[in-house]
A and B are shown apart, each in its own frame.
Chain A
Amino acid sequence: MTAEAEEGEFHAPTIAEFYPPAFLFEGTPFEINRIMMIRLIVMVLLIVLFWLWTNKFRKSVKTGNVVPGRFQLLGEMALNFVRKSIAHDQLGEKDGERFLPLLTTIFFMVLGMNITGIIPFANIAGTSVVGVPLVLAAAAYVTFIYAGIRKHGLKFFKNSLFPSGVPVAFYTLVTPIEFLSTFILRPVTLALRLLMNMIAGHLLLVLCFSATQYFFFNAEGFMQLFGAGTLLFGFAFTLFEILVAVLQAYVFTLLTTVYIQLALADEH
């Protein structure tokens, strides 16, 4: 819900912000609330966007008219960003191409679901409830373990749990830490980082704008001046949230790539 201060008293935003009432299929496992609806809309928009991009691209190749328009250029730049500066840079050409579909999906899904946090009338990020980050983190988790097993077989677990060059006695200390950091903390932090960034961002925005409303309409005298300050802060944080949305998409994709790269790396 967007900023809505009740009459008189100021209400700080709570975690209940992220559990709006369901309005469709209530009581079934498929019940749809505001956040779920936003997620579905984002999915449809992404599919349409990619369909348009690839369609245009195919047409331009067929007709030989390869100079892209503005819309086409944007798509090619975004896709090339994931391809060149994330996948190829970290994984190299061959492995980069192998994992490119997953990385592209993760990047655009996270970006699309994050950006709804600052779009008027949506005003909440699709990633601000644990479902989407959890699914994406699980996908990344399964992929990097798959990549490791595919390349090294069961030696992957030996390499990651018993790193070479460590005196044997220290394995009692090193192995539990490695296990914790590689197989438990990696997916957990991947999901938590995205989720908490979006929750904190949304709460900050709600706080700023509900404070603005309170100061303008319920405060007395010169206290109303504070409203201008909170409005300015809210505006600044909105811009900051755009940065965070893009950055989190980038970081999530980059970390997935790095985990895959570490799993593929040869034991030295």
Chain B
Amino acid sequence: MDAVNIAELSGNIAVVGYGLAAIGPGIGVGLVVSKTIESIARQPELAGRLQVTMWLGIAFTEALALIGLATPFIFA
């Protein structure tokens, strides 16, 4: 290692990219689930329908993270 590069990193930058891509969906899924729990606490009789909507919301949000996972393979 050069004396100049005291903080040299090795590896693939795509890993950092995926880390960044996972932040947004992570927060998003958290929001979806927390709001669903809140709604179920308020109206337990709607639990079934709220859960279906929750899975849909998670599926849409999660797509972004999965596209992030796919991009390194596509642009490798």
Q: Which of A's residues lie within 8 Å of B, judged by CB? A: 15, 85, 89, 189, 192-193, 195-197, 199-200, 247, 250-251, 254-255, 258
Contacts and interface: CB of A to CB of B under 8 A. Distances in A.
B46 interface: no
B56 A196 contact: no
B31 interface: no
Interface residues of B, number: 14
23 contacts: A15-B73, A85-B48, A85-B52, A89-B52, A189-B60, A189-B63, A189-B66, A192-B67, A193-B62, A195-B70, A196-B66, A196-B69, A196-B70, A197-B66, A199-B69, A200-B69, A247-B55, A250-B55, A251-B55, A251-B56, A254-B52, A254-B55, A254-B56
Contacts of B63: 189, 192-193
B59 interface: yes
A35 B67 CA distance: 23
A255 B56 contact: yes
Contacts of A195: 70
Nearest to A255: B59
Nearest to A89: B52
B23 to A, nearest CB: 17
